[in-house]
Amino acid sequence: MFRNYLKVALRTLWKHRTHTLINIVGLSVAFGTCVLLFLTATFELSYDSFHTDADRIFRLNFLSTNRDGTTDRGSTMPYPISPALKAEFPEIEGVTRWFDRSASIRRNSQTYTKDVRMADADFLHMFSFPLQKGNPKTAMNGLSDIVISERMANDIFGKEDPVGKPLQLRMNGAWQAFTVTGVISNPPKNSTFDFDALIRSDNAGDYQEFKSRWDHGNHDVYVQVKAGTDAQTLQRRTQAFMDKYFAKDIKERQEQGYPKNELGYQRSLLLEPLRDVHFDTVTTHGAGISRAYVYTLLLIGLFILAIACINFINLTIAQSLSRAREVGVRKSLGAQRAQLFGQIWGETLLLCFGALVIGLGLAYAVLPTFNRLFRSYLTLDNFLTPTVLLVTALCFLLITLIAGGYPSWFVTRFNAVEVLKGRVKVSKPGVLRNSLIITQFTIACLLIVCTIIVRQQITYLQQRPMGMDKEQVISVPVGGELNGTVALKAMRDRLANQPNITAVSGSGVNIGAGLDGSSSRMMFGFQYGKRDVTCDWLRIDTDYLKTMGIKLLKGRDFSPDFSTDSSSAVLITQSMAKALGEANPIGKFIKPDNKSYQIVGVVSDFNLYSLHQEAKPITLQMESSAPIQYILVRVNPQNLTGAMETIKTAWKTIAPKQEFIGSFLDENTERWYRKEQRLSTIFSTAAGIAILLSCMGLFSIALLTIEQRTKEIGVRKVLGASVASIVALLSKDFLKLVVAAIVIASPLAWWAMDNWLQDFAYKIDIAWWVFAVAGLLAVVIALATVSFQSIKAALMNPVQSLRSE
């Protein structure tokens, strides 16, 4: 019997091969797309879940409220908070600081650039990064101890045992000796912590100066609580700790009338679960991944799968008239309804299995392209895990049951006697079929609108004036091996007479995301009179304004002629002058960190960081103790390639052993919005797939509907109907469904995109014409799809269609 069912299934699928092909193509594309999107979302959601005690580890955050009532949450902590917490809260069994740093490493005159992070000894016990060599109890006890990763051990030592071997690190402007005390497992791709080596946090250059100061923060802090400890209870208990150690700051905030935070206090300490850190976009200045992005991947995958299933259901039901006679004959020969259901559902199972195999093949084939476009890390191993295989099998059975179950029940419920008498007809489309078509095009229209708005926002961010001229400026990271001030002077000397070079300067902060992958930010909060002022603190050098195209509005620029410029003079932006409340701030003094600086000039506002956040007031200074991290070179636009080569050649004479990774600032600023670019690619790709699948389904339904109305069309033509009137007759019912889909999709798209735009300090206004364009596009696509078959039917010779009459 099984063999008979299989033969019948294959014959039926071959008989309706056009619809079979449409179903297989639609389902295979949907399966392949869903597998990739679901695996990517699963990977993002798995961040830090591999740690054995992940549920007991938290990152500290400060919670307060700005003067305007907005929430201010930050993860930057002062040095003394770590030992104080461990001493005063017995339920905390582990505390570690965490510094994101990179450094140059030297062994036997060979230099390497590695991600050397600073942490505390508890790091090795709190997190599940097993030591392959060394003792975790003593590996980070000394200031000169260094624990290296497996990949760093292979890069530097090869097959040699690295434990006990010396290394030199470029720290605080000098080479310092370290000894390898352990080899730690490489952090997996789904880890918030990425490192090549670990050293003690006490090695930080400003540790001795600030180790007892509670008003200076520059690192994150993670705590591990004992088993059975309630995190919320511990968090409430930390309020007394805050009142004790931050009493001065809390008193000043109260006197200045700052509103209380959402917990009812001036400042509070929050315990953020480790698994939430990857999704924190606030304290990471937009570097984290929003959960909404991950859920969007899942939702888009479900949308595409739903459209493919809708196509299958609609086609199967539309074909029910031809299957009805077969069912009637089988019932008259004694077949039970359950047997008929199993046979027809078996055809669905066979077709879906073939589509699944093809879909998985497609997913594997496009995997390298997918990883490159969406910056994912999927491999074949992700497909072959027991969990993924089990979930895939269960979802496959569920989909076949839903997509094939209802059509099978629908076909097998026909009365055998009525069918064989020719009294059963499926002439009018049901509510279900129309609802499914509307759902398809609602999803397609929704994705079209989202694609347009996301692309508009990206274009707006890229083209919005930043207050500087970022074109034709090359940024060269100095790296940890060189002294930035010395390197800048050497580059100026070598580029002085080059015709391609317009200006050379230096900065402590890069503009945009450079090729070194590093970012930094220094901010100061201080009192000016009775005003509370917060600003970005930017280290620059002479000619910075000229190099970056920033306008000087008042006063003077920094100059070598003034010796005090490198110690006690500052430039400020317009917004900084406004924050100070000074119409003419030239000559006035500010005192951040209890040191006096005189304002010598006011420059126009410019954006130092991405437009996700509102630009802060900026103070520009040349204090020599702060390092120059980037050399900035403005070049002539006539020969950009030649200018880059000139700069590269000059750099090689200064740092022959160091890689040149210069980049143009306009490219750097575009990399600020990689997540938005990726989201745009996802939306546009998903919209294209959704439209394609919807049109395939609409084409098939139109084909079947027109086949059922062939005689009607013939009669109308005999009675004088024109081709245009017949096309309009056949198309209008489908266009009504598309218009209904547009009406439903528009408010949903507006709500979704309006919420998404709230993540940006600078954003577009959603225009009405976006919905009009999306609707018009959907109508044109649907009309083109239906009209092809409608025109073909209208041009058919009525004699052929009426011959049987």
Tens-place pLDDT, residues 89-107: 999 999 999 987 767 788 8
Measured at the alpha carbon of residue 252, what is the angle toward residues 246 and 257, in degrees to the nearest 5? 125
Distance CA 597, CA 592 (A): 8
Region of 477 please: left (phi>0), alpha (psi -120 to 50) or beta. beta
Residue 332 — very low, low, confident or very high, per pLDDT cuts 50/70/90? Answer: low
In a domain, 724, yes or no: yes
Are both 667 and 678 inside the same structural domain?
no
- pLDDT the model gives residue 799: 59
Residue 186 — very low, low, confident or very high, per pLDDT cuts 50/70/90? Answer: very high
Residue 179 — very low, low, confident or very high, per pLDDT cuts 50/70/90? Answer: very high
In a domain, 241, yes or no: no
Cα distances (Å, whole numbers) of residue 382 to 36, 128, 190, 678, 682: 10, 21, 12, 21, 20
Distance CA 113, CA 158 (A): 17
Are both 648 and 751 inside the same structural domain?
no
Please give the average per-residue pLDDT across 230-254, as a whole number.
89
Distance CA 40, CA 37 (A): 5
pLDDT tens for each residue of 659-683: 788 888 888 888 787 777 877 787 7
CA 501, 507, 511, 516 torsion-angle sign: positive
Please give the average per-residue pLDDT across 589-609, as a whole number.
87
Statement: residue 579 has pLDDT above 50: yes
Are both 30 and 69 inside the same structural domain?
no
Are both 517 and 663 inside the same structural domain?
yes
Residue 413 — very low, low, confident or very high, per pLDDT cuts 50/70/90? Answer: low
Q: Which range among 304-308, 310-314, 410-414 has the greatest average pLDDT? A: 304-308
Residue 400 — very low, low, confident or very high, per pLDDT cuts 50/70/90? Answer: confident
Residue 427 — very low, low, confident or very high, per pLDDT cuts 50/70/90? Answer: very low
Are both 493 and 623 inside the same structural domain?
yes
In a domain, 254, yes or no: no
First-last CA distance in the chain = 40
pLDDT tens for each residue of 35-68: 888 888 888 888 899 999 999 999 999 988 877 6
- pLDDT the model gives residue 121: 92
pLDDT tens for each residue of 478-510: 876 778 888 888 899 888 888 888 899 999 888
What are the structure tokens assigned to 588, written together? 């006035």
Which long-range CB contacts under 8 A does 186-189 form with residues at least 24 apart? 186/149, 186/150, 186/151, 187/129, 187/149, 188/50, 189/43, 189/377
- pLDDT the model gives residue 774: 87
> 342: which residues sit within 8 A by CB, 6+ positions away?
5
SS3 sequence of 12-32: HHHHCHHHHHHHHHHHHHHHH
Check residues 719 and 472 and name the one with the higher pLDDT.
472
Distance CA 37, CA 43 (A): 10
Are both 558 and 706 inside the same structural domain?
no
Residue 699 — very low, low, confident or very high, per pLDDT cuts 50/70/90? Answer: confident
What are the structure tokens assigned to 452, written together? 């347009």
pTM over 0.85: no
What are the structure tokens assigned to 322, written together? 């031809």
In a domain, 264, yes or no: no
Are both 499 and 619 inside the same structural domain?
yes
Strand-pairing partners, residue 224, are 57, 94
Are both 714 and 680 inside the same structural domain?
yes
Given a contact cutoff of 8 angstroms between Cβ atoms, the answer to whether 169 and 104 are in contact is yes
Distance CA 531, CA 523 (A): 16
pLDDT tens for each residue of 135-178: 888 899 989 999 999 999 998 988 889 999 999 888 777 888 99
Residue 123 — very low, low, confident or very high, per pLDDT cuts 50/70/90? Answer: very high
pLDDT tens for each residue of 730-778: 778 788 888 898 999 999 999 988 888 887 778 888 888 889 888 888 8
In a domain, 731, yes or no: yes
Distance CA 632, CA 540 (A): 10
- pLDDT the model gives residue 198: 94
Check residues 130 and 728 and name the one with the higher pLDDT.
130
- Please give the DSSP secondary-structure letter assigned to residue 55: G
Are both 273 and 298 inside the same structural domain?
no
Distance CA 474, CA 495 (A): 13
Statement: residue 697 has pLDDT above 90: no
For the chain, percent of residues with pLDDT exceeding 70: 87
The last residue of one of the domains, among 619, 650, 671, is 671
Check residues 27 and 121 and name the one with the higher pLDDT.
121
> 284: which residues sit within 8 A by CB, 6+ positions away?
none
- pLDDT the model gives residue 805: 46
- pLDDT the model gives residue 7: 66
Per the structure, the complete domain to which residue 199 belongs is given by 54-231+269-277
Statement: residue 73 has pLDDT above 50: yes
- pLDDT the model gives residue 659: 76
In a domain, 245, yes or no: no
Given a contact cutoff of 8 angstroms between Cβ atoms, the answer to whether 312 and 26 are in contact is yes
- Please give the DSSP secondary-structure letter assigned to residue 266: S
Given a contact cutoff of 8 angstroms between Cβ atoms, the answer to whether 481 and 104 are in contact is yes
- How many domains does the chain divide into? 3
Measured at the alpha carbon of residue 411, what is the angle toward residues 406 and 417, in degrees to the nearest 5? 150
Statement: residue 424 has pLDDT above 60: no
Run of H or E including 217: strand 217-225
Residue 84 — very low, low, confident or very high, per pLDDT cuts 50/70/90? Answer: very high
The maximal CA–CA distance of the chain, rounded, in angstroms, is 107
Distance CA 376, CA 207 (A): 37
Distance CA 780, CA 766 (A): 23
Check residues 558 and 695 and name the one with the higher pLDDT.
558
Are both 594 and 664 inside the same structural domain?
yes
What are the structure tokens assigned to 164, written together? 């006990």
What are the structure tokens assigned to 148, written together? 């290296």
Residue 327 — very low, low, confident or very high, per pLDDT cuts 50/70/90? Answer: low
Are both 428 and 518 inside the same structural domain?
no
Residue 600 — very low, low, confident or very high, per pLDDT cuts 50/70/90? Answer: very high
- pLDDT the model gives residue 511: 85
The last residue of one of the domains, among 656, 671, 686, is 671
Please give the average per-residue pLDDT across 70-82, as a whole number.
87
Cα distances (Å, whole numbers) of residue 658 to 114, 511, 516, 647, 781: 12, 21, 12, 14, 55
Given a contact cutoff of 8 angstroms between Cβ atoms, the answer to whether 665 and 473 are in contact is yes
- pLDDT the model gives residue 285: 56
- pLDDT the model gives residue 33: 86
In a domain, 236, yes or no: no
Check residues 623 and 7 and name the one with the higher pLDDT.
623
Given a contact cutoff of 8 angstroms between Cβ atoms, the answer to whether 58 and 272 are in contact is yes
Run of H or E including 507: strand 501-507
Please give the average per-residue pLDDT across 364-390, as a whole number.
80
- pLDDT the model gives residue 15: 66
Distance CA 716, CA 720 (A): 6
Q: For all residues of the chain together, what is the average pLDDT? A: 82
Statement: residue 801 has pLDDT above 70: no
Check residues 406 and 633 and name the one with the higher pLDDT.
633
Distance CA 348, CA 409 (A): 12
Given a contact cutoff of 8 angstroms between Cβ atoms, the answer to whether 304 and 689 are in contact is yes
Torsion angle of alpha carbons 309, 314, 317, 319, nearest 10°?
A: -110
Place of tokens 């930017």: 538
- pLDDT the model gives residue 529: 79
- pLDDT the model gives residue 423: 52
Distance CA 186, CA 152 (A): 9
Residue 4 — very low, low, confident or very high, per pLDDT cuts 50/70/90? Answer: low
Given a contact cutoff of 8 angstroms between Cβ atoms, the answer to whether 243 and 12 are in contact is no
- pLDDT the model gives residue 2: 55
Residue 239 — very low, low, confident or very high, per pLDDT cuts 50/70/90? Answer: very high
pLDDT tens for each residue of 507-531: 988 888 777 767 777 777 777 877 7
In a domain, 255, yes or no: no
Are both 662 and 678 inside the same structural domain?
no
